[in-house]
Structure 1
Amino acid sequence: MLEFSIGFILSFIIAFLAYKKNSLNKSGFIAATFLGTLIYYFGGFYFSFIMISFFLSSSILTKFKNPNKKSLDNINAKGANRDFIQVFANGSVGLIFVFLYYTYKNPVFLLAYATSFAEANADTWASEIGVLSKKDPISILTGKPLKKGMSGGVSFLGTLSSFLGSTFIGVILFFTYYRLYPLAENKILYSILCVFIGFIGCLIDSILGASMQAQYYCEELDTITEKSYYKNKPNKLIKGIAIINNDTVNILSNIIASLIAIALYNIIFLL
């Protein structure tokens, strides 16, 4: 019970501070406390540190130059204060893999866990920094210009930020792997896998966003948006699948990236 208590206290404090800073709403605060408690219980400090690093860096960047992002409020379905769905979309895959690591003590699940957060971090850094680019993004599928903030758009600044976001988690994984497996000889390769697969996962996120995510036309605002409703009035679906929103895309790309990590781990280290 000691690990559970420590995990709860640590997660509660961090989530509460994020709630007070409007990085989380009430449901997000509860979900983050729940998720953080279980991750600490199953994985201990080092697994929690990877998750906390993602959460803190992403929250800081979400608030960075926030006034410059106000124009995106009519496009993005959700704002800067994350709800429970956003929390689980970015953290539930990691929870599954930390439980598998707790059960089997196989380092492949540490890699999959870290990769899930590397992908989420890459996506968040790309979104939060990329929208500050002076140039409009282009569609990752067609190369045509897109509005800033629309899913599926890529820019040089956003792509670079994505890679740096994944690298940030990869560096933390390096030290985590060193602490848990000090005699292992593949620490650098292990971390490089995390970095590049996390980055690739972010590109997959953009592809899914461009091809499958729902986009709507808001007649009252005369704009394309990811919001299905405006002032309780339904917007017209013009692209994608109605049930696939940004949260769905996030968790799908997170799962895909983690499974790629497992597959490559088995190919490189076990064959």
Structure 2
Amino acid sequence: MECDRHLLMKEYVKMMTDMIVLCVTLALSLFFWVVSLVISSYYGSLQPVSPWRWLFSILIPLVLTARALKRRSLDRTGALAALLVGFVLTMANLSFFSSLMAFFITSSKLTRWGGAKKRKMDAEYKEGGQRNWVQVFCNGGVPTELALLYMIEVGPGEIPVDFGKQYSASWMCLSLVGALACSAGDTWAAEVGPVLSQSQPRLITTWKEVPAGTNGGVTLVGLIASLLGGLTVGVAFFVTQLLTVSDLHMANPQWPIMVYGGVAGLLGSMVDSFLGAHMQYSGFDASIGKVVSHESATTRRICGKAILDNNAVNLFSSVLVALLLPGLAWGLWPQSE
């Protein structure tokens, strides 16, 4: 009887908490809407943002972040950082939001997959891959900055990628997709390669065989996985464009964004491996039989120098892909007739 009463009270508290969260987000969305109305009337050229967009941009990232925190995909600092990243990307463009979700959800699931095998190879393996704020910002910081620039350029809303009509905004869209695809490609390669690959990794700079877990080591399975990870981000962006942009038929073809995502995922993974091979220390520790990222008396150096850690390498890779790849896509993007 006491147990039933305790469960009933627990369900009641959960229901009341959900109601309070919903009421607070409704109040916030209405408050932000009123503020946007005042600002738009003052400046004249700005369009007020719908209260429903405010509500969606606050509520959905909040629900997803709370779920990730409960499943231990994020720690508390990571949850706060993810909430900020999710809010900015959702407010800016729903295609940004769907691309972010494609990266985060698939990466979180793949991180948990094959944990027993990864634990044997990775000395720093964490159950569930719980990410902190540094890891969130190293993967989501560049997309967040691009989303803010996008809102300054065209305001919140969905537009087709069309260099002829919206040059700067289209560039920002491709840069953002490239950064997320780069992060997805690297994560997919790191999580899928060690589990499925039947061959030893090869160092990307010398092509010599190295132990699994070596920074800069690549496998064919890992490279294919990175291509698929980037492709997933591109598909999410493209499908959302189809669902949300009303005048898509008047713009340039949008399907190349899927190919672009795949190329960004593959290229980003290779850039990450190249930087890792040079700027991350990898050594084999005989005492534990695993590759480690620090020197010790029992460690034999494999490659790299202790200049950057994994988070910094991820950040530099996404920055390089975001800056360089849109310029190549601009010249190859098909034009509407």
The match for 1:62 is 111
> How much does 1:227 deviate?
4.8
The match for 2:191 is 128
Query: What per-residue deviation string (whole Å, max 9, x for no partner) do you get for residues 87-140 of structure 1?
Result: 111111111111122122312211111111111111111110001122221111
Which one is further off, 172-181 or 134-143?
172-181
User: Could you say if the C-alpha distance between residues 73 and 238 of structure 1 is closer, same or farther in structure 2, counting changes exceeding 3 Å?
Assistant: closer
Q: Structure 1 CA distance, aligned partners of 2:113 and 2:127? A: 17
Q: Structure 2 CA distance, aligned partners of 1:114 and 1:53? A: 11
Match status 1:195 vs 2:262: yes
User: Could you say if the C-alpha distance between residues 223 and 189 of structure 1 is closer, same or farther in structure 2, counting changes exceeding 3 Å?
Assistant: closer
TM-score, length of structure 1 as denominator length: 0.87
Amino acid at match of 1:61: L
The 8 Å contact of residues 228 and 265 in structure 2, kept in 1 or not, is answered as: no
Match status 1:23 vs 2:73: yes
The match for 1:114 is 177
Q: Structure 2 CA distance, aligned partners of 1:269 and 1:237? A: 45
User: Could you say if the C-alpha distance between residues 206 and 88 of structure 1 is closer, same or farther in structure 2, counting changes exceeding 3 Å?
Assistant: same
Could you list the runs of 4 or more consecutive aligned residues of structure 1 that deviate by over 6 angstroms after TM superposition?
235-238
Query: What per-residue deviation string (whole Å, max 9, x for no partner) do you get for residues 185-230 of structure 1?
Result: 321234322321332111111111111123356575465412579x
Which one is further off, 49-58 or 131-140?
131-140
Q: Structure 1 CA distance, aligned partners of 2:182 and 2:316? A: 11
Q: Structure 2 CA distance, aligned partners of 1:125 and 1:252? A: 18
Percent of aligned positions that are identical: 27
The match for 1:71 is 120
Q: How does 1:52-201 map to 2 (within 5 A)?
A: 52-74=101-123, 80-105=129-154, 106-132=169-195, 133-178=197-242, 179-180=244-245, 182=248, 183-201=250-268
Structure 2 unaligned segments of length 5 or more: list them: 1-31, 33-50, 155-168
1:209 equivalent among 259, 272, 276: 276
Q: Secondary structure at the match of 1:67?
A: helix
Question: Which of 1 and 2 has higher RCO (CA within 8 Å, sep 6+)?
Answer: 1
Q: Structure 2 CA distance, aligned partners of 1:175 and 1:222? A: 45
TM-score, length of structure 2 as denominator length: 0.71
Q: Structure 1 CA distance, aligned partners of 2:199 and 2:282? A: 22
> How much does 1:263 deviate?
1.5
The 8 Å contact of residues 152 and 207 in structure 1, kept in 2 or not, is answered as: yes
Aligned length: 267
Structural RMSD (CA): 2.8
Which one is further off, 118-127 or 62-71?
62-71
The 8 Å contact of residues 181 and 261 in structure 2, kept in 1 or not, is answered as: yes
| Larger Rg, first or second structure (1 or 2) | 2
